[in-house]
A and B are shown apart, each in its own frame.
Chain A
Amino acid sequence: MVIPDYYEFGSRTHIMAGYDALEQIPGLLSSMDAQNPMVITDQGVSRAGLVDILLQALDSRITIKTIQDDVPADSDLITVHTLAGQYRKYGCNAIIALGGGSVMDTAKGVNILVSASSDNLLAFSGANALTHALNPLVAVPTTAGTGSEVTRVAVISDPDNLRKLLFTSGFLMPDAAVLDPRMTLTLPAPVTAATAMDALSHAVEACLCLGRNPLSTAHAHEAIALISQHLLPVILQPDHKPGRLALATGAALAGMAFSNSMVGMVHTLGHSVGSVCHAPHGTCMAVLLPYGMAYNLHKTQPLLADLLLPMAGADVYARTPPADRAQKAIDWVNRMNQRLHQVTAGAHAVCLREMKSQDGKSLVPGHLLPKIAHTALGDGSIFYNPEDLDYDDCLMVLEAAFNGAPLDLSRVKKG
């Protein structure tokens, strides 16, 4: 075990994972003296009937003061301010965030405002601008991917100024994360696949990036094992509760791992594809993950080799000669993408070119690749990637990922 010069690992979120995890919420809230929560969610979630399931699971010990279900797909300042107003109006003292990444981010933003009794979210943006614990926040993720239920960041867009505000602080970690398979049972197969691959990319990058440490690696390996074992079975049998729970658990573990070790180029590029083309985050991650691994191969060979064990299991690991294990791990991810492509009847894209919006339009037009590469250079995560990346490198990787062609390793400049 190689231990870095210095590292930190912390994840102070209380995790509840299980078939009746939702039923634990009243107890959790009362242990925090917060019986009057507000529920923040979005239309999709409430249409899928998840709010009803939640309400059924909560008993009379707590009174839900209000349910706000109009969080947009991209959490923005206005929503945060409106919801903070509602929180105060109804006299709430806690938040239950029910949804995916943007609901979590919105809830975190609202919590900042109501805890600090402030009306200016801008004052808290940036790194570590918070210095006090926030009000109770319980996160109930309805996708198994982003890991926001355990991370210390929130991204909220400021449409007036065309920018995204980043908030990071240990205090942004939700007090509790409730992982209940009922919340993801109805997730469509392509979304399940994309979000799980997002989580996988968190775990893999957590093992490769600068801030990696024994604790984050242990979490990441556990996450990889859970996701690799359960993803395909769940796609084939969507209502398989143990599998759903395993994926949700894997996503949370991956979230804990990467928020302590940071992410690298897969996210650098993925964020940029997302922001330039408005493509779904998870799919971008799925496509880019093998490329990110290959690009860093020469720097992270032993680390990648270690990943083969949780991915493919002991037999495959033992059968593969040590020198080939890293490459095999990359191949494994590629094959996983291929299989997901098959079992979702082509809905899961394996290259950027294939990414389609709901109405069948191509999401990532080739001519935007230079713009994406340019955006990527401004992303903070680029700092944590093991190998350096400049504009040309980003473009090279993006072009390969666009066409689904293997990365030409001879073109990777080794620094």
Chain B
Amino acid sequence: MTALNHFLCRTKTAFGTHALDHLPFDLSGMNARKPFVITDQAARDAGVHMVLARACRDTYLAPGLATLTDAGDFETLYHLFVDKGYDSIIALGTGQVVQTAKALNLALCLGPERLRSPADPGQIKGPLLPLVYIPTHPESGQDTAGETSFSGHCFVSAHLMPDIAVITADTMLGTPLAAVLDSGLSSLAACCEVFAFSGNPFARSYAYAGVCLVMDTLLPLAQQSDHGDLLCQKAGKHRRLPLAKLTHAAAVSGYIQSNFPNLKTRQAGAHITALHPAPSATLSSGLCMALALVHLLENSKDTCPWLGKLLLPLTDAAHYAGVPGPGQPDAAVRVIRELLQALYETLPQGMPETFDEAGLTPRQISEISNLLTYAHP
């Protein structure tokens, strides 16, 4: 264990079928009577807001609904919220919806000026208004992390983490395979990195669950997709549950990223994305992170004490215990490689398996490679 392990996850995760049924109790427990629901057009079109409305029926909560169409809506939302006297925010959606919800929360609690000219964007003291996060897609962990960016400024504070993340198959929407892979791989990379390189048991526990969730769902989901077509909601429940699990993993990776802002895989991912100004579907940041992860693990196979243990969440107890200790790091890396290979085969247009294939020059690769080492005990 390192000298100081600290960990903070302000978010309560509620997961499962009918998980929304429990939301009214949680809201009333936070004294929220009039939640303001922000959603996007896709969710609205799919009628997901009705699922939420059904859960709130007969509970004497009086939710209001606003659909986000473009960023210019912010002022409108702000005034709507203030004028109608809402007391809490529900972000029903992923990505933009959540970033807006967090920014709105900041504006409401600290004053809108604070957003426009953030003198000290890092110093945000809570508590903010209750914020509930109900994702409709798996994403890359940004939603549950304690950060948001608004008109070019980045705000970081654990208070920005949602109070509750309600993750349920009932609200999952069709998601393109590329986005599924992006999310799954970035969660995997973040969780694996923390599990393999951090001695922080609190973070490791979350990471463990995150890795298990990805390993459980990512490949089957990819194999089920019809050649990269939309994983369509109509396709039925059997796809929505694994999507929800993957979203769960993404949420977990968000908690972790909040506590480990300097993940190497993330940095490398950003670096590569910067080299490729227009990241195509074949080179998503999730994939970059996964490639970086393999690299990172290879680089530190002999120095990192916890790497072998990674085999446990990647496979299962029987498998892990069956591999003799010294062989475990190799086995772990192999599992990840095999996963990437198998994913590759599900994609008609292919997917780079190495930095080389991704089109990086040898110089760039060595740059990144330098980035991807841990100086370790």
Q: Which of A's residues lie within 8 Å of B, judged by CB?
A: 1, 3-21, 24, 31-33, 128, 130-133, 169-170, 213-215, 217-219, 221-223, 226, 242, 245-246, 249-250, 252-253, 256, 306, 309, 314-315, 317-318, 322
Known: A169-B29, A306-B317. A245 touches B1 (CB 8 A): yes
Interface residues as binary, B112-132 with A (CB distance below 8 Å gives 1, 0 otherwise): 000000000000010100000
- A345-B275 Cα distance, complex, nearest whole Å: 66
Q: Does B322 reach chain A (CB closer than 8 Å)?
A: yes
Name the segment of B209-217, B231-239, B354-362 touching the other chain.
B209-217
- Category for how many chain B residues contact A: 35 or more
Known: A12-B9, A15-B202, A133-B127. A314 touches B208 (CB 8 A): no
Known: A16-B4, A21-B4, A314-B325. A3 touches B245 (CB 8 A): yes
Interface residues as binary, B1-41 with A (CB distance below 8 Å gives 1, 0 otherwise): 11111111111111111110010010011110000000000
B191 to chain A, nearest CB (A): 11
Partner of B19 from the list A6, A132, A217 (CB cut-off 8 Å) is: A6
B344 CB contacts on chain A under 8 angstroms: none
Q: Does B375 reach chain A (CB closer than 8 Å)?
A: no
- A315-B213 Cα distance, complex, nearest whole Å: 26
A414 to chain B, nearest CB (A): 26
Q: Are B205 and A246 interface neighbours, CB within 8 A?
A: no
- A315-B320 Cα distance, complex, nearest whole Å: 10
Q: Does B201 reach chain A (CB closer than 8 Å)?
A: yes
B20 to chain A, nearest CB (A): 10
A-B pairs, 4 with minimum CB distance: A10-B12, A6-B16, A18-B4, A131-B31
Q: Are B205 and A249 interface neighbours, CB within 8 A?
A: no
A170 CB contacts on chain B under 8 angstroms: 12, 29
B317 to chain A, nearest CB (A): 5
A15 to chain B, nearest CB (A): 5
B2 CB contacts on chain A under 8 angstroms: 18
Q: Are A1 and B12 interface neighbours, CB within 8 A?
A: no
Q: Are B127 and A10 interface neighbours, CB within 8 A?
A: no
B131 to chain A, nearest CB (A): 13
Known: A31-B125, A242-B1, A318-B322. A11 touches B29 (CB 8 A): no
Residue of A nearest to B11 (CB): A10
Q: Does B321 reach chain A (CB closer than 8 Å)?
A: yes
Q: Are B14 and A8 interface neighbours, CB within 8 A?
A: yes
A29 to chain B, nearest CB (A): 12
- A284-B321 Cα distance, complex, nearest whole Å: 33
Q: Does B74 reach chain A (CB closer than 8 Å)?
A: no
Q: Are B22 and A16 interface neighbours, CB within 8 A?
A: no
Interface centre among B202, B212, B252, B312 (most CB of A within 10 A): B202
Partner of B321 from the list A4, A214, A309 (CB cut-off 8 Å) is: A309
